[in-house]
Amino acid sequence: MKLPSVITSSVIRGTDKGASHGGVYLIDLDQERVQQVLDWDRAEIDWEGRGGDRGLRGIAIYKDQIYMAASDEIFVFDSDFKLSTSYRHPLLKHCHETFLDGKLLYITSTGYNAILVLDVEQGIFIEAYQFHFPKWKRILYRRNVDVAPSWKRMDLGNPLQYQLVAEDSLHINHVFVEGGDIFFSGTRIRHLFKFNFEGVRIYGSVPKGGHNAQPFEESSLLNDTAGNRLAILNRRGESLELFNVQQYAEDKLSSSGLAERVARQGFARGLLVIDEDTFIVGSSPATINVFKRGNEEPIKSINISMDLRNAIHGLELWPYGLN
């Protein structure tokens, strides 16, 4: 089987101002070639915190335009990675993953527990939805009672509303759209939720702290980040199949005194489904893992950096060739 090429973003945790905070890479998985196309070292980045405002994260490709999410801005590059335009909105805060459905780009705004929708043909934001647990639901959820969050449509034209609703109680970091339904998950919630514009319901149970959760064959597929693995779970959260990301001998890893406090190896994030049997997963130190069902270990892994702080984030198929 010929493996595809991918584009990936990486985020370097705990980097000092003036140093690289990550980059964007093209990887030919079949020929095992790596090409760096962007280095994120812009001086205007807000360097506070562990990574909320640093680096490029979610990636989507529409025609010959590459959309990349930064903390509060969506950058658009051409296929030669020249910046063509960007989009900002007050409701964009600590963006993580994105999902392109037709001409609509769904963006997770973690700082607002929200999902924004950008019409990439018109170049305007057309919708925004916020999710939250009212106090009584929050109490039940903390007591392990399975309840779904409430939701509301945000008024994109009301700046006062933006000041009142900022919160990151769910840490929504992934969105997936299928058949008109929006699926979302976050590191502070233990479910994959399904939203159909009438209400939110529980789709399936997933481990807290995971990434990239999405429906798959009537089950859930996600990076069980705490477990250093990709997981297929039934709707009750029970394991159906597990895949371990690449691990390296400790003496092969590079780090700094800071690295042990902010990063670890095996942190699984970034997921591509090639077909029902083949998955591509990112992990740290910046590694791309290729899995085939029936194999717990990667059938191929390609390493970009052995720096523990350097973690894969966005991951998408690359439709063009490498130079």
Q: Does residue 18 register a pLDDT over 70?
A: no
Q: Does residue 134 register a pLDDT over 50?
A: yes
Residue 215 has a pLDDT of: 98
- The Cα angle at residue 245 between residues 114 and 318, in degrees rounded to 5: 60
Region 44-49 average pLDDT: 43
Q: Is residue 323 in some structural domain?
A: no
- Give the domain extent around 142: 5-317
Q: In whole numbers, what is the pLDDT of the chain averaged over residues?
A: 89
- pLDDT tens-digit readout, 148-181: 999 999 888 877 766 556 566 899 999 999 999 9
Residue 65 has a pLDDT of: 97
Q: Is residue 185 in some structural domain?
A: yes
- pLDDT tens-digit readout, 189-246: 999 999 998 899 999 999 999 999 999 999 999 999 999 999 999 999 999 999 999 9
Q: Does residue 152 or residue 261 have the better pLDDT?
A: 152
Q: Does residue 29 register a pLDDT over 50?
A: yes
Which residues contact residue 27 at a Cβ distance below 8 angstroms, ignoring those fewer than 6 apart? 5, 6, 7, 8, 33, 34, 35, 288, 302, 304, 318
Q: Is residue 33 in some structural domain?
A: yes
Q: Does residue 257 register a pLDDT over 70?
A: no
Residue 182 has a pLDDT of: 98
Q: Is residue 145 in some structural domain?
A: yes
Q: Is residue 322 in some structural domain?
A: no
How does residue 28 score in pLDDT terms, banded at 50, 70 and 90? very high
* Overall number of domains in the chain: 1
What CATH number is attached to the domain comprising 16?
A: 2.120.10.80
Which residues contact residue 54 at a Cβ distance below 8 angstroms, ignoring those fewer than 6 apart? 11, 12, 15, 21, 22, 40, 45, 46, 47, 71
Q: Is 157 exposed, middle or buried (0-12, 13-18, 19+ CB in 10 A)?
A: exposed
